[in-house]
Amino acid sequence: MAYIEDILMEEEKRFLQAKAAYEADLAVYPKGSIVWKKIGGRKYPYLVYRLEGKVKTEYISEENLAELEKQITLRRQAKASLKDINENLKIVQRALRHKST
């Protein structure tokens, strides 16, 4: 049984490291979504996000649009992966607690 506990402890360590890495990624990538506003017959891209409970919008220049879209996609992927990591970490920690009692 000690073998199983060792494996669970290794998994917990791996999940904690992955969690820290995804949280670091989330801190770097911008929050929000890209919306298009029509002004004077032309469409302009804006980044929309929340800051301190208020909705903020920032104009995005055309040359920065592709990079920002990529970063927002990466943030969403990291957020989804972090959710999976947290769920798996909870299961492993529950198993370790159950094993020690």
How far apart are alpha carbons 21 and 28 in whole angstroms? 11
Residue 4: pLDDT band (50, 70, 90) is confident
**Could you give the angle at the alpha carbon of 77 between the alpha carbons of 66 and 49, nearest 5°?**
60
* Global pTM value: 0.80
- Domain extents in the chain: 2-100
Q: What is residue 36's three-state secondary structure?
A: strand
Residue 98 confidence class, pLDDT cut points 50, 70, 90: confident
3 state DSSP class of 54: strand
Q: Where does residue 6 rank: exposed (0-12), middle (13-18), buried (19+ CB within 10 A)?
A: exposed
